[in-house]
Amino acid sequence: MKESLCCRFRIVPKLSHYDENGSVRMVDVGDKVATKRTARAHAFVKMSKSVLQQLPQNPKGNPLEIARIAGIQGAKKTSELIPLCHPLGLTQADVQIDLTTEGAEIIASASTTSQTGVEMEALTAATTAALTIYDMCKALDKSIEITGIYLLEKTGGKSGDYVRNNERDESVE
């Protein structure tokens, strides 16, 4: 039987989602102290001026409000979509969408008091909102682009706080 590529090379990485043999695992956070955790993420949906002008007349409803609600739902469902994410009891999830001359800028946030962070929940919220805008507007233009998906900031946890700097990423001490 042919061994898969992932199993042929046994590298012992320092990433916490790998065991000492290089196999993936869900991290055990049971002994960690629950602390306040927050995260904010960004996504951008690039649309033509024509699509932007037609947003208010969309026969499916208000794409931005539907995307906002979908993003919040995405944050709540993150552990069902990302295999090694822990299910979290979110204390807050929100999505803000602002129109620019080139599209829709999405900022998603999530909070919890838990043993693990909410970065993936914020990123999933931003991405889900962006995908929903695409879905609501694809009949008008299939060339809509989803770009700029990244973590803006996170607070709490062993690794400390992080704030993205547009020039380069840096951790806040």
Q: What is the CATH number of the domain that holds 125?
A: 3.30.70.640
> Is 12 inside any structural domain?
no
Which residues of the chain fall short of a pLDDT of 70?
1-19, 28, 167-173
Q: Is residue 15 part of a domain?
A: no
What distance in Å separates the CA atoms of residue 75 and residue 93, rounded to the nearest whole number? 7
pLDDT at 111: 98
pLDDT of residue 54: 95
Q: What pLDDT does residue 6 have?
A: 52
The answer to whether residue 98 is domain-embedded is: yes
135 is catalytic: yes
Express each pLDDT in 55-72 by its tens digit: 999 888 899 999 999 999
96: β partners? 107
Is residue 75 domain-resident?
yes
Give a yes or no: residue 103 inside a domain.
yes
Domain range for 87 is 42-167
Catalytic position from the list 28, 135, 141, 169: 135
Task: Give domain status of residue 122, yes or no.
Answer: yes
Task: Give the residue among 86, 156, 159, 162 at the shortest CA–CA distance from 121.
Answer: 86
Within 10 A of 62 (CB to CB), how many other CB atoms are there?
Answer: 12
Q: At what angle do helices 119-137 and 63-76 cross, to 10 degrees?
A: 150
**How high is the pLDDT of residue 12?**
45
The pLDDT value given to residue 23 = 74
As for how many domains the chain has, the answer is 1
* pTM for the whole structure: 0.84
